[in-house]
Amino acid sequence: SLDIWDPFEGFSAVASVPPSARETTAFATARIDWKETPEAHIFKADLPGLKKEEVKVEVEDGNVLQISGERSKEHEEKNDKWHRVERSCGKFMRRFRLPENAKVD
């Protein structure tokens, strides 16, 4: 199944978690799709607000793909009045063990 289990789905208890912890947790679980075609392994990541230069993609230990990055918190002016903050900030890192026959170059 391609469905991704979300352990917080449907829980209102998450609202009692401090906003800073919620923001870091939300971004730490960056959603990534992985498919294999006859020519390649294709990874698509939902990383809204990040520039390509802010995302690091590397292969470690010969066949472990690591995708990482960080979104900084927006600068807040003293007179700003926020009504809602849903976008997350913080670091994220996802690792995927590629098949032994994957051409990592």
Q: Where are the domains of the chain?
A: 19-72+88-97
The yes-or-no verdict on residue 64 having pLDDT over 80 is: yes
| H/E run at residue 33 | strand 32-36
Nearest Cα to Cα of residue 27 among 87, 78, 80? 87
CA distances from 38 to 15, 18, 46, 60, 105 (A): 44, 45, 24, 23, 16
The yes-or-no verdict on residue 73 having pLDDT over 60 is: yes
CATH topology of domain 19-72+88-97: Immunoglobulin-like (2.60.40)
Name, in order, each residue with C-beta under 8 angstroms of 68's C-beta and a sequence gap of 6 or more.
55, 56, 91, 92, 93, 94
Model pLDDT, residue 1: 44
What would the pLDDT profile of 3-22 be if each residue is shown by its tens digit? 556 555 655 554 555 555 54
